[in-house]
Amino acid sequence: VQATVVGFLAAVAAVALGAVSRGGVELDQAVVLCASSVTTAFIAALSLGLVMIGVIIGSRKVGINPDNVATPIAASLGDLITLSLLAGVSSTLYHYRDIWYLSPLVCLFFLVLIPLWVVIARRSLQIREVLRSGWQPVIVAMSISRTPTGPPQSSVGGLILDKTVSDPNFEGMAVFTPVINGVGGNLVAIQASRISTYLHFWSIPGVLPYKMRQHWPNPCVTFFSAGVNSKSARVLFLLVVPGHLVFLFAIKMLQGGHTAITLAFTCCYLCAALLQVGILLYTADLIVRLMWRKGLDPDNFSIPYLTALGDLLGTGFLALCFRLVMVMEGLGL
């Protein structure tokens, strides 16, 4: 239900923003965009849901914590499956755009199915709660972050990316953006899931356990205390540099990015990545505690906010990184 609705809203937002920036709307392309977005969101959500069920069951059987496995797989496969589906579906619908009723019919078909999914979802008490109150984080995240089922213009982070990739001074930024956003999003999602699991194990919704009794901890508590969540934050933070170095090496070997990976660029890039992940891990600690005090499940409410913030911070810091490297090169440094 949420995937279909958010896919449709992302397409509508992209059409509206495109109309404002370009001064008009091409109706046939707008309809193709809506149909492609809704179809992709529905199929991707269904596929990923089935994959996640298998991953969680398999993790339990082999004795692995699903928090460390399921979230990164969902994030990485989510982008891969969604972008692949979006490319295939949109290409097909655009090829048959002369059949004027095809795209509207496809879009209407998935929208008509929404009441059916609502009826089925309401049979489960847990899903009924998500269906009732789980819309705000998803829609807000869609507005902040670049949604895979919509073009860049459908969000704030996407607007930043759209403005920079068209600038010759930021050539290659499109290659590095999914890397910095993907790594940051995966790491903060793991941390949020681990904190949520800890709260579910040691307390009840609405009441923080004694070891997490501070409502608004300072960064020292998040990163330097003796608690298990603090240790997890330190480990995840230390993974940033080696992880990004591997990706930078891969990009250089594949000759991608159209940007010289110099020492100056590498240092600025790693500083941007460390700053992004540091802010995200601290924000995760705050948001998860806040959601828990309000009686909300952090797994459902915090992760959309955090991954969206990760995309926004990653895109913004990466743009600043490119600008700083350009200034340094201009000064001959």
Structure tokens at 238: 């230390």
Instruction: Read off the pLDDT of each residue in 35-52 and give the average, rounded to a whole number.
Output: 87
pLDDT for 289? 92
Calpha distance 312→331 (Å, rounded): 29
Calpha distance 132→257 (Å, rounded): 43
pLDDT band with cut points at 50, 70 and 90 for residue 21: low
User: Is residue 160 scored above 70 in pLDDT?
Assistant: no
Calpha distance 155→171 (Å, rounded): 21
pLDDT for 276? 95
Instruction: Read off the pLDDT of each residue in 265-283 and give the average, rounded to a whole number.
Output: 93
Exposure string over 12-30, b if 16+ CB within 10 A, otherwise e: bbbbebbeeeeeeeeeeeb
pLDDT digits (tens, 9 = 90+) for 65-79: 777 777 777 766 777
Q: Which of 94-98, 122-126, 162-166, 199-203 has the lowest mean pLDDT?
A: 162-166
Calpha distance 314→164 (Å, rounded): 13
Calpha distance 58→207 (Å, rounded): 32
What is this structure's pTM? Answer: 0.74
- The average confidence (pLDDT) of the chain is 82
Q: Which of 47-51, 61-65, 74-78, 160-164 has the lowest mean pLDDT?
A: 160-164
